[in-house]
A and B are shown apart, each in its own frame.
Chain A
Amino acid sequence: AQSVTQPDIHITVSEGASLELRCNYSYGATPYLFWYVQSPGQGLQLLLKYFSGDTLVQGIKGFEAEFKRSQSSFNLRKPSVHWSDAAEYFCASMEYGNKLVFGAGTILRVKS
């Protein structure tokens, strides 16, 4: 079975600083990978996805992610964090049957 690891449970960054959230997956073939964001008390919103092709993918709200097969990683980045980015972020991979396997999540705190 696939698994997704998000090594950082919490991350705190200052507003305006850059951000990188880590995600590692375990899957032999090229996975379908996703990043979702969850604001407090809300459902999940898709930030971006990777299926194939260009390994640097752009998403909404200024986020991007880079797929690195050699490192089994799909890290999420943003050059300048805004206070409204404070939320929990989930990395996920897709299994056969269109089922998502989620990482444990990373809670982002933004210092003003």
Chain B
Amino acid sequence: NAGVTQTPKFRVLKTGQSMTLLCAQDMNHEYMYWYRQDPGMGLRLIHYSVGEGTTAKGEVPDGYNVSRLKKQNFLLGLESAAPSQTSVYFCASTAPGLAGDSYEQYFGPGTRLTVT
């Protein structure tokens, strides 16, 4: 049981390039989230999904797109990277409503992205 995994771990992009971050979870969780972490700002929600085929905007969605084609995967895309998107990106998942569930979100190890 790997939990939540993220690919890649590190990436350097030039301004204007595009990329996709992959999040995978093997816990059969319905809900998945993408956060970005910046110094002094905690984690901020970018987009989230409450089930396969659904996505919704979070607090800071501009410049990002997401897709949830399979229940276990949640992709975060940057179509045209900007230096302001230099950050550490975390994926998380949870399964609210299951018996004994604590609403805990399980986090991946993060992806460190630098945009030059």
Contact = CB atoms under 8 A, between A and B. Distances in A.
User: What interface size band does chain B fall in?
Assistant: 20 to 34
B96 interface: yes
A102 B50 CA distance: 19
A70 to B, nearest CB: 24
Nearest to B105: A100
B103 A9 contact: no
Interface in A98-112: 98-105
Contacts, number: 58
A98 B43 contact: no
User: What interface size band does chain A fall in?
Assistant: 20 to 34
B58 A99 contact: yes
Contact of B42 (A51, A99, A105): A105
B102 interface: yes
Contacts of B48: 97, 99
Interface of A: 4, 6, 9, 32, 34, 36, 41-46, 49, 51, 90, 94, 97-105
